[in-house]
């Protein structure tokens, strides 16, 4: 079986987000298992990957800006994908909500498999689409409806699968394939000490890491901090500058350190330095930061919604993300109960070991075989 894997998200800003982590992990698993792949990329953009010699590529024409260019691309790509269909048995698209990454709605004669990480642009459009981007709401809803045309869907979690079934009604088969955080380990104390000194971090602090889009609920966490009695909060990660500036203006007196983006090589030490990691997201397709923190031996408190109970298992302290009192109580427990932190640390390390990119790759390849058998 020969599969075309869409790597275009690694040529877009998505390479710095969870989609990029997913693609690098999945591709690494496939390469170790010596699968027969054709790597789907844009012709004019590099892919920042250390690939072995002999990898087979299929290049697509570069996307054009603006809506008319997008519509023209849809027409041009139809013929290109028909050519691809003559060379492979199945094609896997990996980022269906990026507007310039078209996938063919017309049947190709081979299975079209699509990974859907979440439906946030549809189910939480008012939260995540700000300003003029709200004009795109009908476009995202249209794109989500087109998912029903695929021969098979892959979701990161049972929660996303349920949302897909609710939204689409009659759906193609959906397989759940979880992600992993294998690149993270418990950091050496010397690395933690060096990072704490370099960034002037306090001895005890709570860590929030991730984008500051409204669905990540950073504001809900800041409201919970207003009750006092908690260690300072360190906020790290890329964020919408306008949204972040608004939060800093509205909560000027809270004990918050705003780090901004953190280099990948510092993430393990940052997780390891934290007293606890807090993830108050309102909606997740998976929740990779939770697994990353657990892999680093950091106790986790997180939302009890969407995919997070699946990912965290029994290894986190859960709270209702829309109840500041519950968030505050959970964080006070973690800050004041060393035995609880030690127990969650061990449970978290064990939980993280249940996930691996090798497992993700094997399940995904089996999913391809199942979808191919159904379509033949």
Residue 182 has what pLDDT?
86
pLDDT tens, per residue, the chain with 376 residues: 999 999 999 988 888 788 999 999 999 999 999 999 999 998 877 777 778 877 899 988 877 665 555 565 566 677 888 899 999 999 999 998 886 666 777 788 899 999 999 988 787 666 666 666 666 677 778 888 889 999 999 999 999 999 999 999 877 999 999 999 988 999 999 999 999 999 999 999 999 998 767 889 999 999 999 988 899 999 998 777 777 888 888 888 899 999 989 999 999 999 999 999 999 999 999 999 999 999 999 999 999 999 999 999 999 999 999 999 999 999 999 999 999 999 999 999 999 999 999 999 999 999 999 999 998 7
- Domain 189-352 classified CATH 3.40.190.10? no
- The helix or strand, by DSSP H or E, that contains position 38, with its residue range, turns out to be strand 37-42
Query: For residue 257, what pLDDT is reported?
Result: 94
pLDDT (0 to 100) of residue 160? 96
CATH top class, domain 3-180+356-371: alpha beta
Cα–Cα nearest to 205, from 302, 329, 343, 335: 335
Distance from chain centroid for Cα 28: 17
Domains 3-180+356-371 and 189-352 in one fold: yes
CB 180 within 8 A of CB 355: yes
| Residues recorded for the chain | 376
Predicted TM-score (pTM) of the model is: 0.91
User: What pLDDT sits at residue 141?
Assistant: 83
Cβ atoms of 149 and 364 within 8 Å: the answer is no
Q: Token pair of 33, please? A: 């298992």
- Give the angle 245-246-248 at the CA atoms, nearest 5°: 65
157, burial (CB in 10 Å: exposed 0-12, middle 13-18, buried 19+): buried
pLDDT value of position 171: 76
User: Hey, where are the domains in the chain?
Assistant: 3-180+356-371, 189-352
Calculate Rg over the CA atoms of the chain. 21
In this structure, are residues 81 and 59 in contact, taking their beta carbons and an 8 Å threshold? Answer: no
């Amino acid at each position: 079986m020969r599969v075309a894997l869409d790597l275009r998200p690694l040529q877009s800003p998505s390479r710095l987000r969870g989609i990029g982590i997913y693609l690098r992990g999945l591709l690494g698993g496939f390469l170790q298992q010596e699968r027969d792949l054709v790597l789907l990329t844009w012709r004019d953009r590099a892919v920042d990957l250390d690939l072995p010699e002999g990898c087979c590529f299929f290049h697509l024409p570069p996307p054009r800006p603006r809506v008319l260019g997008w519509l023209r691309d849809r027409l041009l790509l139809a013929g290109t994908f028909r050519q691809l269909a003559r060379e492979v048995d199945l094609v896997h698209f990996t980022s269906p909500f990026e507007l310039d990454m078209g996938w063919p709605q017309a049947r190709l004669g081979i299975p079209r498999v699509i990974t859907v990480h979440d439906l946030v642009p549809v189910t939480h459009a008012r939260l995540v689409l700000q300003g003029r981007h709200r004009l795109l709401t009908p476009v995202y809803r249209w794109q989500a409806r087109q998912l029903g045309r695929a021969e098979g869907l892959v979701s990161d979690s049972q929660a996303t699968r349920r949302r897909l079934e609710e939204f689409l009604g009659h759906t193609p088969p959906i397989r759940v394939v979880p992600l992993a955080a294998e690149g993270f380990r418990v950091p050496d104390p010397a690395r933690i000490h060096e990072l704490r000194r370099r960034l002037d971090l306090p001895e005890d602090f709570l860590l929030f890491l991730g984008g500051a889009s409204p669905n990540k609920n950073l504001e809900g966490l800041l409201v919970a901090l207003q009750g006092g009695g908690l260690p300072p909060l360190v906020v790290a990660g890329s964020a919408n500058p306008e949204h972040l500036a608004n939060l800093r203006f509205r909560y000027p007196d809270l004990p918050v350190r705003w780090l901004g983006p953190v280099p990948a090589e510092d993430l393990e030490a940052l997780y390891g330095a934290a007293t606890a990691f807090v993830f108050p997201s309102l909606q997740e397709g998976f929740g990779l930061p939770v697994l990353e923190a657990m892999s680093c031996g950091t106790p986790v408190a997180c939302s009890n919604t969407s995919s997070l109970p699946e990912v965290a298992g029994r290894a986190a302290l859960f709270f209702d993300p829309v109840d500041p009192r519950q968030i505050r109580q959970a964080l006070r427990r973690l800050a004041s109960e060393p035995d609880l932190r030690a127990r969650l640390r061990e449970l978290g390390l064990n939980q993280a070991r249940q996930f691996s990119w090798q497992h993700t790759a094997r399940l995904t390849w089996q999913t391809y075989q199942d979808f191919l058998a159904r379509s033949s």
